[in-house]
A = this chain, B = another copy of it.
Amino acid sequence: MNKSVGRLVSILYRKNQVYLNQALKPLDITATEMSSLLCLYHSDGVTQDEMSHYLLIDKAAIARAIVSLLDKGLIIKEKDDVDKRANRIYLSIKGKQLETSIRSILKGWNDLLIEDIDPKDVETMFHVLEKMVLRLEVLDLKPEGAKHD
Chain A residues in the interface with B (C-beta under 8 A)? 1, 3-6, 8-22, 30-32, 35, 55-57, 61, 64-65, 106, 109-110, 112-114, 117, 121-122, 124-133, 135-136, 139, 141-143, 146-149
Contacts and interface: CB of A to CB of B under 8 A. Distances in A.
Contacts of A113: 5-6, 132, 135-136
Count of this chain's copies in the oligomeric assembly: 2
Given A121-B127, A124-B121, A128-B121, A149 B64 contact: yes
Contacts of A64: 149
A30 B147 CA distance: 7
A149 B30 contact: yes
Contact of A12 (B18, B124, B126, B136): B136
